[in-house]
Amino acid sequence: MSSSPLSKKRRLSGTETKTGSHCSSSNSVRTDLSHTPANGMAKNGNDAEIDEGLYSRQLYVLGHDAMKRMQNSNVLISGMRGLGVEIAKNVILGGVRSVTVHDQGVAEWRDLSSQFYLREEDLGKNRAEVSQPRLAELNNYVPVTAYTGALNEDYLTKFQVVVLTNSTLDEQQQVGELCHGKGIKLIIADTRGLFGQLFCDFGEEMIVYDTNGEQPLSAMISMITKQGVVTCLDEARHGFESGDYVTFTEIQGMTELNGCQPVEIKVLGKTCLFSSKHQVFVCLGVTLQIYTSCSFFQVHTPSASLHVGFQAIHAFQKKHNNLPAPWSYTPITCLDFSKNVWPTQILLFTCSLLFQACTGKFMPIMQWLYFDALECLAEEEGVTLTKEECAPRNCRYDGQIAVFGTKLQDMLAKQRYFLVGAGAIGCELLKNFAMIGLASGEGEVIVTDMDTIEKSNLNRQFLFRPSDVTKMKSDTAAAAVKQMNPSIRITGHQNRVGPDTERIYDDDFFESLDGVANALDNVDARMYMDRRCVYYRKPLLESGTLGTKGNVQVVIPFLTESYSSSQDPPEKSIPICTLKNFPNAIEHTLQWARDEFEGLFKQPPENRTLKLPGAQPMEVLEAVYKSLITDCPHSWADCVAWARNHWQCQYSNNIRQLLHNFPPDQLTSSGAPFWSGPKRCPHPLEFSTSNELHMDYIMAAANLFAQTYSLPCSTDRAAVVKILQEVKVPVFTPRSGVKIHVSDQELQNSNSSVELKTRLPSSESFQFKLNPIDFEKDDDTNFHMDFIVAASNLRAENYDIPPTDRHKSKLIAGKIIPAIATTTAAVVGLVCLELIKIVQGHKKLESYKNGFMNLALPFFAFSEPIAAPRHKVGTCFCVSPFVLLFGLSAGSFLFCVACRMTEIVTKVSKKKLGKHVKALVFELCCNDLSDEDVEVPYVRYTIR
């Protein structure tokens, strides 16, 4: 449960990741700079090595170039209250060159409601100095220093980015003018109760290198006319948009197009038009979309009323040297601003902007952004909090009490919540739970996660430290938040949620809960928890991230639809015949390599333990027979010999057989070249011990093969070369009559079973142990990724497909979910706003908000949840078999098989039903309604 995929991609509308890659809708041509900015931010970063083990998930979002630019950035963050420390945390995790935290104030009670690195014993101490050592633990690569002096010109010029929080208007204007004149990027962020403000000034020479963060599109070309009309293959939509810029590769006939300067296109359905005339197109080609850089300087007018409100707060503070008291209705607080530092609403935009300032990656906001969450207040009209209810109590929740009063604080303390997952989202949720005082009284937070901490987790799961690697996530996270708020009552479990643990998470457990929060990394587990919450009528807080994208969904019993009410379309799969014989993209060869890994090192040992029936798919039987009889090794040398022969089979013999069946000049029945369009004509490889890629494959394959048989392994390449010189590789001659399927339909129509006629030896005759190997992508010493990369790139070489590096191979083959701490923190902030509404008992659908974001664009949207479906059902007084079984009267339990009436009208005690009957789940499908129909929500009812 270490990562958090986007759970409802379809709801992101135009910002979602399409099949393949998403294309830009607003690319513009790069503007050359007249000179380099004084702070050097337009240049690439230094050539320092990036720790891919730590930053792997973030690298898949930002890329290496942006990471290097960020590693060149010294950042100043002024103001170490809740908002400032949240920004500092995410920036340090991101991996900038250095961070300086600045504050001239001391810790107060109200700070403890959001500043998670302040403790009660720190009251009266400087906030920056107290926070510095705790922030420094987040990332050993980022030095963190504290500064308590004045922000003068000499000091500010040391930084490339300056962030102001909790600052006065005079300070903002003074620092803003200085930074603008010196080419220093400036971000100003502030929160006032349920309102947030954000401003950025990146100067007039800001360059955006990548407007949306998506991978460029590519498409196979079938024809280009002399008029410049490019026709793509019809097997899938190309995804290009008018205004995109493209270039071409592998064009035959119009060779001058290969590697040409970017050409703007206009889309005509599935074709693109460019204004050039060339000779007739001959055969295969690929069109690639490219992104062009653009200079960025734009001013956006903010929301007028909120802008005036913040200005009024500054004016009042300057005049009275203090803020207005919470809920004191004076002209200056007509917008109901109250002093509460709740960072999780606006921090998302702040940290994202800082990364954009450092890297030139993604589109910044147009200078101003305002945010409010007024729907978190009481729903009832006329209900108003008083100054007395919101007055300070000299407790750690004073900042929150100033907004919501003491009643909500008491309710939060009694909540019993189940958090499923302690990964990136789980860590952020636990931190916020501790800050708001959830389960700080009679309640409890139960967090479960069966995973252990890995190095790659440390970049975004901020509760963990390097010394925690290999420890259980749930226990470590629980201990960490206890340090933040000793009052929180929290229990860590190490269980996977599912049918196997329903004896633990049973009726009594769920009925005792006030709600559930998901922090999961897969849809199946999400849907399971959704079903459990619907079954027990418990609120569910659902969220997910995918790189810069994120979403939040709130599920309220009887009010909103459930998570499972809508589902994403299934992922597009690669045709089997494409994988086996006709790959044309690196994604195909990587999937083929993953299948090779499973088929060689996992499935044969697993299938050996199965009871094989008389008929099995041919490939399964062949693999089992080889693993037990023909390929069974007895030494390390046998493993090397097996790897060499398997290399010969896959990258030479099979390709030669394919070309024997379909020669390079083969024509189809229509007279068109067989090897055209998506079918690349392959060529066999010749093995050489001097070829590094060939040896990479032999070393990885031999070691993995030895591991499956519990034989000794070796990393001595020189010794392996000597063994290879003694290996005899059989001469291969292509055979006639071998059937190779050219489509999945042919494969399905063929006979895919074979009768097992060879008698397998009994297990008693074996003196070795077969060990199935589970693929693990993040261990660089286990040869798993070594095999995948080598196998994939060798097959790519067979088909003249450009190879890819280990980093991208791990992303695709490992199905890694790109992630950054900024998106995670933002999503969790929105989740906690919905939690506040649930605890208050909001009943109106419009009070709740589902949130969707893409920080790269930037795009933020909120919508009302879809209402729960409602169905009309009637009453029926027929005697049911259930009634007869349990001896109940017809009037107390209404269920009719004859008319399929499926509603329980009267509660029935569990004692009468029997202990083995806990609940009945019914489908509302009655067509023969009585004359007294009633409307009820479509839910599952528990019999009490």
**Which residues are marked as active site?**
577
Are 563 and 582 in contact, with CB atoms under 8 Å apart? Answer: no
Are 642 and 665 in contact, with CB atoms under 8 Å apart? Answer: no
**What beta strand segments (E) does 312-436 contain?**
368-372, 416-420
In whole angstroms, give the CA distance from residue 345 to residue 52.
30
Beta-carbon contacts of 333 under 8 Å, excluding residues fewer than 6 positions away, are 316, 324
**Residue 858: is the preceding peptide bond cis (ω within 30°)?**
yes
Amino acid at 663: P
Closest CA to 582 of 861, 300, 800: 800
Helices (H), 370-418: 398-413
Tell me the CA distances in angstroms from 77 to 129, 162, 672, 892, one per residue in order: 13, 6, 65, 66
In whole angstroms, give the CA distance from residue 684 to residue 648.
9
In whole angstroms, give the CA distance from residue 336 to residue 324.
10
Tell me the CA distances in angstroms from 735 to 516, 661, 693, one per residue in order: 62, 9, 29
Helix (H, G, I), strand (E, B) or coil at 182: helix
Helix, strand, coil percent content, the chain, rounded in steps of 5 = 35, 15, 50
CA 856 to chain centre: 14
Long-range contacts of 317-320 (CB under 8 A, 24+ apart): 317/168, 318/168, 318/169, 318/170
Are 240 and 289 in contact, with CB atoms under 8 Å apart? Answer: yes
CA 84 to chain centre: 25
In whole angstroms, give the CA distance from residue 612 to residue 600.
18
Closest CA to 358 of 826, 670, 40, 49: 40
Helix (H, G, I), strand (E, B) or coil at 157: coil
Amino acid at 100: T
Structure token pair of residue 869: 């479906």
Beta-sheet pairing, 266-268 with 206-208: unpaired
Neighbours of 722 (CB within 10 A): 13
In whole angstroms, give the CA distance from residue 212 to residue 15.
9
Helix 52-62 vs helix 806-813: crossing angle, to nearest 10: 80
Residue 163 pairs in a beta bridge with 77, 187
Q: Within 13 Å and on the Cβ side, how many CA atoms surround 942?
A: 14
Neighbours of 715 (CB within 10 A): 10
Helix (H, G, I), strand (E, B) or coil at 595: helix
Beta-carbon contacts of 315 under 8 Å, excluding residues fewer than 6 positions away, are 169, 332
Report the sign of the C-alpha dihedral through residues 9, 13, 14, 19, in that order: positive
Are 812 and 590 in contact, with CB atoms under 8 Å apart? Answer: yes
Tokens 């083990």 — which residue?
53
Structure token pair of residue 430: 């636990």
In whole angstroms, give the CA distance from residue 444 to residue 442.
7
Beta-sheet pairing, 444-448 with 416-420: parallel
Helix (H, G, I), strand (E, B) or coil at 697: helix
Q: How big is the chain by its Cα radius of gyration, in Å? A: 32
CA dihedral (317, 322, 328, 330) in degrees, to 10, reads -40
